[in-house]
Amino acid sequence: MTVSGVSKSFGPVRALREVGFAVRRGEIFGLLGPNGAGKTTLLEILEGHGVPDQGSVRVLGMDPRKAGARLRDRLGIVPQQASFELYLTVREHILAFGGYYRSSLPVDELIDLVGLGEKRRSLVGRLSGGQQRRLDLALALVGDPDIIFLDEPTTGFDVQARDRAWSVVEALRDAGKTIVLTTHNMDEAQQLVDRVAVLYDGSLAAIGTPAELLADQASRIGFRADDTAPGDLPAPLADAARLEDGRIALVVEDAAEALHELTGWARANGRALPDLQVSRPDVEDLYLSIVGAQQPRRETALTTPSGAQTTE
């Protein structure tokens, strides 16, 4: 799947600005970004529901606007807001939906896969919000698609339901499916996806595996200030240090090197480093550095997809 130089405006709003990347076959690909970043707009273009003003997309080698049923049969789509037939049972609803596809998965296995086994004969209108999201997923999967688009699949889930949804998505990936999902959720971006594209204000701000993106992020070192002030530390540690809530906080590129200097200084000067903590950056740090949190952070290095890749 490729996205090439895609731009899209709604009147004065530039929802997408020359966005380009490739999704590899069999990966879980995340689109991460704050509200209004352009994630849903991009997903709709990939699904064939939106037209780019500029640029193009290819999905399974086809133009989604022109491919019609040939492509639709191979896509599974879970929108942010689904509409249901509330007076059908879960089983009836999935069976009815399966009728739209040339071939469909066995309905009872599917119900078990998404964890609705106990609700198989319940009316759809009686399902909780989280259970309806699981039904969404079952409906997207019933045609045994090659590519699955999930728009915020775990929004509103409790931790247990979220973990279950993640397992289902991983199982789908392991079965060879390609999954593209949008998310606001940092844990989801870090723990579930193989690669993530960060969209900000319609532009592609960063793309890579979570580990690649985090490798460019600063680490944090902190200890209780007691009677130490940032200025007591040797340069260049002093430049990287700030007093935050009674703690000295340092944001450093090389945590090992900084710790070496810090502990050397403490020993030479008879100082303790009470409650010393080192934290590795996580996706939230990356995200905040991109969306410009109030606290100054180091600029993120922007990476592009590299090397030859199989795309769909």
Ligand X SMILES: Nc1ncnc2c1ncn2[C@@H]1O[C@H](COP(=O)(O)OP(=O)(O)OP(=O)(O)O)[C@@H](O)[C@H]1O
* Sites of contact with ligand X (CB under 6 A): 10, 13, 15, 33, 35-41
> Cβ 189 to ligand X, closest distance in Å?
13
**277-279 vs 28-32, strand pairing mode:** unpaired
Phi, psi angle pair for 96, to nearest 5°: -60, -45
Rank residues 12 and 99 by Cβ distance to ligand X and give the closer one: 12
> Cβ 47 to ligand X, closest distance in Å?
13
> Cβ 192 to ligand X, closest distance in Å?
17
State the CB neighbour count (10 A cutoff) for residue 55: 16
Buried-state track 60-81, b at ≥16 Cβ within 10 A, e below 16: bebebeebeeebbbbbbbbbee
- As beta bridge partners, residue 29 has 180, 195
H or E element: which one contains 54? Answer: strand 54-58
Rank residues 10 and 246 by Cβ distance to ligand X and give the closer one: 10
Rank residues 43 and 168 by Cβ distance to ligand X and give the closer one: 43
Rank residues 41 and 311 by Cβ distance to ligand X and give the closer one: 41
User: CB burial class (10 A; 0-12, 13-18, 19+) of residue 292?
Assistant: exposed
- Token pair 């109030």: residue: 294
Nearest Cα to Cα of residue 133 among 104, 158, 97, 107 = 158
Distance set, CA 96 to CA 90, 92, 126, 240, 289 (Å) = 10, 6, 18, 61, 46
> Cβ 120 to ligand X, closest distance in Å?
31
> Cβ 193 to ligand X, closest distance in Å?
16
Number of H helices, E strands in the chain: 12, 13
> Cβ 188 to ligand X, closest distance in Å?
13
> Cβ 46 to ligand X, closest distance in Å?
12
Rank residues 37 and 114 by Cβ distance to ligand X and give the closer one: 37
Residue 138 CA, chain-centre distance (Å), reads 21
